[in-house]
Amino acid sequence: MSRIRNTIFILVFLCSFFTNYAQNITVDEGFTPEYLVNDVLINSSCANVFNVSVSGGNFTSGEKSFGYFDATGTSFPFQNGIILSTGKIVNAQGPNSSLSDDGGNMGWNGDPDLNQALGLSNTFNATVLEFDFIPLGNKISFDYIFSSEQYLSNPMSNQCNYTDGFAFLLRRSDETTYQNLAVVPGTNIPVKVNTVRGSGTICPPANEAYFDAFNDINHPTNFNGQTKILTAVSDVIPGQTYHIKLVIADEGNYRFDSAIFLGAGSFNFGIDIGDDRLIANGNPLCPSEILPVDATQLGATSYQWYKDTNSIPGATNAVYNISSPGDYLVEINYGPTCQTTGTIKIEYAEPLVINQNSFTECDADTNQDGKTVFDLNTIKNQLFTNLPSNYTVSFFNSTTSTTALPSNYTNTTAYNDIIYARIMNIQGCYSDYPLNLNVNTFDEILVDETIGLCENENLILNAGSGFSSYQWNTNPPQFTQQITVNSDGTYEVTVTNSSNCSKTKTFTIEPSSIATIENIEIEDFQENNTATIKISSLSLGDYEYSLDGINYQDSNIFRNLNAGEYVVYVQDKKGCGIVFETFYILDYPKYFTPNNDGYNDTWFIKNLDKRHLENSTITIFDRYGKLLKQITGSSDGWNGTFNGNPIPSSDYWFEIKLTNGKTVKGHFTLKR
């Protein structure tokens, strides 16, 4: 065996040296199928392989569609291995400068097993490598890369579904149904151009995590793109005979070749000693848990356990009790030259430490009913002192509930509620953690105020007594119950009660001043006498008006006033003071009784002098227009006589010519 390997090394070295050394892969078609399987793909003395066969293109020029490849010194992920192609493998050598497009019109058929595995009916140019084997362990695996000319970096839309097919078909020798191992990891989806493809073209990406790249011209192979290294894996029964068939073919026609690269030495007859116990998988070991791992294999002569590549002293039994995290490997010997391995990766769940399990919020709305919103995302970050970032925590209202609470949760029990925190992605290690949610209230009612600030005065703002702390929004902030201000604006004070709950009260300070009465506009000698109080535009306040100093109104107009003397009071609503002024309403008497009883014996207009109208002229007529009397506003009036003789009871007319230019006409009654 060693002599054959040395021969291969020399041949490969010479081939690599003379054809684009350290640039592109090279291929060799001169090795037998048995050698490709036993010495390249498997390369283990433990292998029990037989019935090896290979078939592919029967090119008249003698080239083959299968063989050995060497990528030493190139950027290709495998150093060497086996290549199976739908065309000549010599055309798989880089650079990626031509279209590999072989096998047309030569009667090169597809494969019925591949058709059945992929649900196809139109495959062509199939290359098949198959063999029987008897595994020592209970698991096989091997690594591969799928490359294709159909990975187009600038395709047309009708080319997005072009894809060649391949399958790794495995069955027990006594069975007829194959299992396809060439699938997207964790799925049953066959690996093809349109199921593993990257983004960046008009074709939709698919399972991008497993796609490597679209290739430019300077690539070690002559294919337009390829997957990353993928691993085919399957459980097997030790000692049973299995048949495996590795097949690739063109779909639809011979155009655009594809290839499978199988990594040398990657076909592993290992054993499965159990699933990895990982936090990411949700199945780590719980704190202090011990996991017995049984690697017992029929025919094994010795065992050696390793942790993190270091042998474990004394760990030479088939069963090993794992009690700490690490990467474990068991080496199983079946003799001096035959050895298999099994691996398992172990992680431990963190022993969580409670940092805080009681959380208090203040009732945040106006209805102080002991219910408010809790931010469960914030609580999650405060709950444990050592919660790993990849642990998922959800909250529930009972230990049996399966419906998680929303991140913004309003407690259902007033003032105190109990909910439960649950680690969701680590199963079996943690029980639910009860949490107390407490709600404090602020029952005192704060009423915003609007206050006037009088000119040249200071104002004391009082937030009220009985609170634990105060903070005003002044610059700098003040922390007392009362503050003194001398300018208008909005002042806010945040008060905190003994339960550490806060509310804010707003004082709106508006400039104000005592009023200045600029004028009183009077409309009199009418059925509806009115007085309108005019305030100076320089007055800043909000004013109310009164004629008795007790009852005030917002309107500055007084109506239905009788003749007489009035005092108007103007008061600033914000407390800056009151001003007053006297005014007079004039009107004529509707009748008089000149009977010398000392009451209402003469007819005259009162208060003309108070309005500076005492020089006005008043003329009195009888019903026929006869002039009876003319007097001035300063006289004692008319006593009901004409030429010294009393005139009879009747209605009489008058005309008043006021010195302000206004004329008033009317009539009155003389009664005897």
In a shared domain, residues 158 and 236: yes
Judged against a pLDDT cut of 90, whether residue 107 lies above it is answered with: no
Judged against a pLDDT cut of 80, whether residue 2 lies above it is answered with: no
Judged against a pLDDT cut of 80, whether residue 19 lies above it is answered with: no
In a shared domain, residues 63 and 111: yes
Q: Within 13 A of 432's CA, how many CA atoms are on the CB side? A: 16
Q: What is the largest CA-CA distance in the chain?
A: 170
Distances (CA, A) of 580 to 545, 563, 573, 583: 10, 19, 15, 10
Judged against a pLDDT cut of 50, whether residue 640 lies above it is answered with: yes
Helix (H) or strand (E) holding 206, with range, is none
Q: Are strands 543-546 and 564-572 parallel, antiparallel or unpaired?
A: antiparallel
In a shared domain, residues 93 and 210: yes
Which of 486, 542, 489, 491 is CA-nearest to residue 512?
A: 542
Judged against a pLDDT cut of 90, whether residue 441 lies above it is answered with: yes
In a shared domain, residues 184 and 110: yes
Judged against a pLDDT cut of 50, whether residue 224 lies above it is answered with: yes
| Tokens read off for 479 | 């922390």
Q: Where are the beta strands (DSSP E) in 353-501?
A: 358-362, 373-375, 393-396, 408-410, 416-423, 433-440, 449-454, 459-462, 469-472, 482-485, 489-496
d(CA 396, CA 390): 20
Question: How many residues appear in the chain?
Answer: 672
**Residue 367 belongs to some domain of the structure:** yes
| Tokens read off for 617 | 């002229």
Per-residue pLDDT at 12: 41
pLDDT band at 15 (very low <50, low <70, confident <90, very high): very low
Contact between residue 642 and residue 655 where contact means Cβ atoms under 8 Å apart: no
**Residue 25 belongs to some domain of the structure:** yes
In a shared domain, residues 567 and 628: no
**Residue 354 belongs to some domain of the structure:** no
C-alpha dihedral sign at 439, 444, 450, 455: negative
Q: What is the pLDDT of residues 446-477, one digit of tens each?
A: 999 999 999 889 999 999 999 999 999 999 99
Helix-then-strand count for the chain, H and E? 4, 45
| DSSP codes, 303-317 | EEEEETTEE-TT--S
d(CA 612, CA 483): 52
In a shared domain, residues 494 and 411: no
**Residue 564 belongs to some domain of the structure:** yes
Per-residue pLDDT at 161: 86
pLDDT band at 144 (very low <50, low <70, confident <90, very high): very high
Contacts of 489 (CB under 8 A, 6+ apart): 509
3-state DSSP call for residue 210? helix
Domain that holds residue 301: 272-346
| Tokens read off for 123 | 């495959």
d(CA 362, CA 501): 6
d(CA 71, CA 145): 13
Per-residue pLDDT at 255: 85
C-alpha dihedral sign at 507, 513, 519, 520: positive
In a shared domain, residues 154 and 11: yes
| Tokens read off for 343 | 């691996």
d(CA 432, CA 398): 9
CA quadruple 230, 234, 240, 243: dihedral, nearest 10: -50
Per-residue pLDDT at 129: 97
Judged against a pLDDT cut of 90, whether residue 607 lies above it is answered with: yes
- In the chain, the number of structural domains is 6
Tell me which DSSP letter residue 209 carries: G
Last residue of a domain, one of 421, 440, 459: 440
Q: What is the pLDDT of residues 488-536, one digit of tens each?
A: 999 999 999 999 999 999 999 999 999 999 999 999 999 899 999 999 9
**Residue 355 belongs to some domain of the structure:** no
In a shared domain, residues 193 and 51: yes
- What's the average model confidence in pLDDT over 542-546? 96
pLDDT band at 9 (very low <50, low <70, confident <90, very high): very low
Last residue of a domain, one of 346, 376, 411: 346
Q: What is the pLDDT of residues 330-371, one digit of tens each?
A: 999 988 888 888 999 999 999 999 999 999 999 999 899 999
Residue type, 204: P
Residue type, 568: V
Which of 274, 287, 275, 276 is CA-nearest to residue 388?
A: 287
**Residue 351 belongs to some domain of the structure:** no
Q: Where are the beta strands (DSSP E) in 187-267?
A: 211-214, 225-227, 230-235, 242-251, 258-263
Per-residue pLDDT at 44: 81
d(CA 91, CA 232): 26
Q: Phi and psi for 505 in degrees, rounded to 5? A: -115, 140
How are strands ordered across the β-sheet holding 449-454?
449-454, 502-512, 489-496, 469-472
3-state DSSP call for residue 200? coil
Per-residue pLDDT at 551: 96
Cis peptide bond N-terminal to 476, omega within 30: yes
Domain harbouring 579, CATH code: 2.60.40
Contact between residue 329 and residue 343 where contact means Cβ atoms under 8 Å apart: yes
Q: Regarding predicted confidence, which is higher, 556 or 598?
A: 556
**Residue 114 belongs to some domain of the structure:** yes
In a shared domain, residues 240 and 257: yes
Q: What is the mean pLDDT of the chain?
A: 92
Residue corresponding to tokens 């600029």 = 518
Q: What is the pLDDT of residues 31-56, one digit of tens each?
A: 999 999 999 999 887 888 999 999 99
3-state DSSP call for residue 407? coil
pTM score, whole prediction: 0.58
In a shared domain, residues 230 and 100: yes
Distances (CA, A) of 365 to 370, 438, 586, 654: 10, 15, 61, 73
In a shared domain, residues 57 and 188: yes
Q: Where are the beta strands (DSSP E) in 107-198?
A: 123-133, 139-148, 165-172, 179-180
| DSSP codes, 33-88 | HHHIIIIIII--TT--EEEEEEE----TT---SEEEEE-TTSSSS-SEEEEEESS-
Last residue of a domain, one of 475, 493, 512: 512
**Residue 353 belongs to some domain of the structure:** no
In a shared domain, residues 305 and 335: yes
Tell me which DSSP letter residue 296 carries: -
Q: Are strands 449-454 and 502-512 parallel, antiparallel or unpaired?
A: parallel
d(CA 358, CA 438): 7
Residue corresponding to tokens 């001035």 = 632
